Structure 1
Amino acid sequence: MRAADALGLCLGSLRGHRSRSLMLLLAVAIGVGAVSLLTGLGEGARSYVLGEFAVLGRNTLIILPGRKETSGGMPPITGLAPRDLTLQDAAAIARLPAVLRVAPLQAGQVEVSVGNRNREAFTLGTSQQFFAIRQLQVGQGQPLPALDFGEARAVCVIGAKLRRELFGTRPALGEWLRAGDRRFRVVGILAERGESLGMDFGEMLIIPVASAQMLFDREGLFRVFAELRGPGLLASGKRQIIATIRERHEGEDDITLIGQDAMLAAFADILRALTLALAGIAAISLLVAGILIMNVTWIAVNQRTAEIGLLKAIGASAAQVRLLFLGEAGLLAGAGALAGLALGEALLWLGRWIWDFPLHAPWWARLSAALLALATALLFAWLPASRAAALHPVDALRPQAAR
C-alpha cells in the first residue's frame, strides 16, 4: 500500500465521521492549549518578578536590621536585632571602599493634605542616592537635594497619582503640602512608573530621611540600600559591611544582607517549580484525551471490521492495517495540537493586551505539549489498532465478526 493511498484512507475515514473527529480534535486542542496557557502564566509571573528585582541592579545590597534566620528551639526562634540600624551606620557603610552609593530608608503611612484635600500616603524618608539606586526618574522638577543623612529639610518629591489627587489640575511644583504635623515644599514629581517590588511610586511621598525620623518620631531605619562599585566587589563588599556593623554593634552580627543574585535565584527556583507543576496539571487533560481516543478507536474497529477484512483480503498486511488506525489517531492529535497551540497563544496575547503582563509560553512547553499529545494518541490507539491488525480476513468479513 502506497503512503498516498494510506493517507487518503485515513483522511476519508476522518471525513466520514466528522462529529467523532471534531470531538477528538477538540479534546486534544483543549489539553495542548491548557499546557500552553498555564505554562505561559507561570513563565509570565517568573519574568515579571525577575524583571522587578533586576531594577535594583546586580551590584545592590539590601541591609535589614536583625538576623532573618531560624536559630532552632521549640517553637522556632528567630534572631533578634539588639540594635537598630542608624544613620551613623549608613554613613559608616557609605565610607567603605567597595561602596558607591548608600540610601537609608525610613517608611510609614502619613495623612497628607493640601487645602481641603487629604489622603493617606506611603511616605519614604531617604536620600538623593535612592533615586539613582532604584532608577527613579523625575518627570518635573528635581529629586531630593544632596544632604547629609542627618540634615532635615522641608522638601519632598511626590508621585504623579498623588499629585493629581492633592493638587488636581493646579501646578504642584513649589507648592506646600502638610504631612502629619509638618509642612513640605514640593520640589519634584516622579515620572509615571507604577508598582515595583510592592511599592507604588505613583502614590508615594519622598522626603529627606532625617525629616522622616522627626515625622515618625523613630530613629531606627527600615533598611539600607548599598550599591557597590562593581559585580566583582560583591563578596568583599558584603564582608566589609558585616565587619563594619559588627564593630559598631559591639561584636554582634545583627544584620541581614540580601543581594539581588540570592533573591533572583530563590524566586527563579520557586517560580520554575510552579511552572512545571502547572504544566503537569494541564498535561492530565491530555491523558483524558488519550483515553477518549482509545475508546473511539475501539468503536471504529468494531464498526469497520468489514473494511478491515476487505483490506486484508486484497493483500494489506497486519502492519499496514495497524498503521491506518495509528495514522488516524496521529492526524487527529497533530491537528488538535496545532489548534491547541494557536488557542493558547491567542489567549496569552489577549492577556498581554488586557493586563500588560509578560505572558509567554516557553518553547519547551509548546514543543512538549505537542509531542505529548502525539505520543498519547499513538499509545492509546495502539491496542485497538493491534486488535484490528490481528483480525483474520474471513472472520472480519462475517457479519458480527468483531463481537
Structure 2
Amino acid sequence: MRSADTLEFAWRVVRGSPGRTLLILLAMSIGVAAVVAVSSIGEGARLYVVNQFGSLGTHLVIVLPGRSETAGAMPGVLIGKTPRDLTLDDALALKRSHAIRRLAPLIVGAGDVHVGARRRETPVLGSTAELMAIRSMAMAQGQFLPSGDPRHSQPVCVIGAKVADELFAGRRALGEWLRIGDRRFRVVGVLASQGQSLGFNTDEIVIVPLAAAQALFNTEALFRVLVEAKSREQIAIAKSDIEDILRERHDGKRDVTVITQDAVLATFDRILRALTLAVGGLAAISLAVAGILIMNVMLISVTQRRGEIGLLKALGATGGNIRAMFFAEAALLALGGAALGLAAGKLGQLVFGQLYPSIPFTPPWWAVIAAPLTAVLTAVLFSVAPARRAARLDPVRALSKR
C-alpha cells in the first residue's frame, strides 16, 4: 500500500467521524495552546525585566535599607520591619569606592501638585543631577536638575510629559511656577516620554532636588541609592565596597541590601522557570488526556472496523500497512489539534498584548516547535496499542463477523 493511499484512507476515517474528531482536536489544542500562551507570558515577563534594567545600563547597583538574609528574600523595608535609615551622608561616603562612577540618592513620596486651579496627585522624586545619567533619562525641553551640593537646593523641578500636558494645558511649561503642597518650584525641564521604568512612569512624575524633597516630606531617610559602577567587571567590587563602607558606618551591622542587575534577573529567571515547569506539567497532563482519549477511541474503532480491516488484509494489506494507517490517523488528528492550539495560543498572546501593552508577549521559538511535535509524538505513542491490535486481526475471522 502506497503512502498516499495510507494518508487518504486515514483522512477519510478522520472526516467520517466528526464528533470523535472534534473531541480529540479539542483535547490536543488545549495542551498546545497552554504551552504557547504561557511561554509567551513567561518570555514577555523576562524581556520586560531585561528591558527595564537595560534602560538603566548594565552597571546598575541598587542599595536598599534593611538586610536580606537569604537569597531571594526581600529587605526589611518591604516586609514591614523597621531597618536603620540610609542617609545622605551614607550615600556620599560611598564615593570612597574607586569602582563607583556616580551615584544618586533617592527620596520618593507623593504630592498634591497644582498650577492655579489645575491639580493632580503625583509621585515626587527627590534626587541629584546624576539621576539623569544613571536612569538614562532624556529631556524634551529645558535641562535636568542643576549640579552642586546635595545638602542645598534651589526651588526648581523637572516634570514628566503627561504632568506638563495636564497642568499647563498646552502652554509652554519652562520657566513657569507650580506648587507641591505649600512650596513653589520653577519648572526648568520637561522629560521626554519614556513610560514605565523600575516601577515609575516617568511621564507622570515630578523631580525636585534632594534637599527640597527632604524638607517637603520632613524626612532625612533615603528610599534607596542608585549606584553606577565604572564597568561591568567592577560591579562585584562596587558591591563589596558598598557593604564594607556601610557596615563600618553602621557600627559593624550588615543592615543594607545591595542588589545588582544580574542578581535580580537571576531571581526572575528562577521564578519564570518554576512557572514554565508548572505550566509544562499542566500541558503534559492535557496532552496525556488527549493521548488516552485517542487510544480509547481507536480501540473502539478497531472493534467497529473489524470487517473493513479484514477486507484490507484479504486484499493484501500487511500488518505494517494497518499499523501505518492508524499512526497516520493519529498524526493527522494531532497536527489538526496542534494547528488549532497554535492559533488559540496566538490569540491569547494578542489579548494579553492588548491588556498589557508595555510587556512584549512573544512565545520563544522552542515552544512553537516543541508543542506541535510533542502533540504528534503523544498521539502516535498512544495509538501503538490500537494499531497492534488491528494489525493482528485474522482476516477470515474478521470478515466472518462483519
Alignment of 1:45-124 (within 5 A): 45-69=45-69, 81-82=83-84, 84-124=85-125
Task: Please tell me whether the aligned partners of residues 295 and 382 of structure 2 are also in contact (alpha carbons under 8 angstroms).
Answer: yes
What is the match of residue 4 of structure 1?
Answer: 4
Task: Please tell me whether the aligned partners of residues 99 and 238 of structure 2 are also in contact (alpha carbons under 8 angstroms).
Answer: yes
C-alpha displacement of 1:203? 1.5
User: Could you give the per-residue CA deviations for residues 250-272 of structure 1, whole angstroms, max 9, x where no partner exists?
Assistant: 33333221111111111111112
| Counterparts in 2 of 1:12 and 1:249: CA distance versus 1, 3 Å | closer
When normalised by structure 2's length, the TM-score is 0.91
C-alpha displacement of 1:95? 4.0
Amino acid at match of 1:289: A
What is the match of residue 149 of structure 1?
Answer: 150
Gaps of 5+ in 1: 71-75
What is the match of residue 303 of structure 1?
Answer: 304
What is the match of residue 73 of structure 1?
Answer: none
What is the match of residue 73 of structure 2?
Answer: none
Task: Please tell me whether the aligned partners of residues 50 and 267 of structure 1 are also in contact (alpha carbons under 8 angstroms).
Answer: no
Amino acid at match of 1:361: P
CA distance in 2, matches of 1:15, 1:253: 70
CA distance in 2, matches of 1:243, 1:258: 15
Task: Please tell me whether the aligned partners of residues 93 and 244 of structure 1 are also in contact (alpha carbons under 8 angstroms).
Answer: yes
CA distance in 1, matches of 2:343, 2:251: 63
What is the match of residue 177 of structure 1?
Answer: 178
User: Could you give the per-residue CA deviations for residues 117-155 of structure 1, whole angstroms, max 9, x where no partner exists?
Assistant: 222211110011111101111111111111211111100
Q: Which moved more, 1:284-293 or 1:192-201?
A: 284-293
Alignment of 1:329-340 (within 5 A): 329-340=330-341
CA distance in 2, matches of 1:390, 1:119: 79
Matched position secondary structure for 2:173: coil
What is the match of residue 138 of structure 2?
Answer: 137
| Counterparts in 2 of 1:209 and 1:346: CA distance versus 1, 3 Å | same
Q: Does 2:380 align with 1:390?
A: no
| Counterparts in 2 of 1:153 and 1:160: CA distance versus 1, 3 Å | same
C-alpha displacement of 1:245? 2.1
C-alpha displacement of 1:18? 4.4
C-alpha displacement of 1:43? 1.5
Task: Please tell me whether the aligned partners of residues 67 and 80 of structure 1 are also in contact (alpha carbons under 8 angstroms).
Answer: no
> Alignment identity in percent?
51
Q: Which moved more, 1:391-400 or 1:340-349?
A: 340-349
CA distance in 1, matches of 2:353, 2:121: 32
Matched position secondary structure for 1:61: strand
What is the match of residue 236 of structure 2?
Answer: 235
Q: Runs ≥4 in structure 1, deviation > 4 angstroms?
A: 76-80
| Counterparts in 2 of 1:376 and 1:53: CA distance versus 1, 3 Å | same
CA distance in 2, matches of 1:78, 1:339: 48
CA distance in 2, matches of 1:214, 1:351: 43
CA distance in 2, matches of 1:353, 1:309: 55
What is the match of residue 33 of structure 2?
Answer: 33
CA distance in 2, matches of 1:184, 1:52: 30
What is the match of residue 283 of structure 1?
Answer: 284
Task: Please tell me whether the aligned partners of residues 34 and 279 of structure 2 are also in contact (alpha carbons under 8 angstroms).
Answer: no
When normalised by structure 1's length, the TM-score is 0.91
| Counterparts in 2 of 1:355 and 1:246: CA distance versus 1, 3 Å | closer
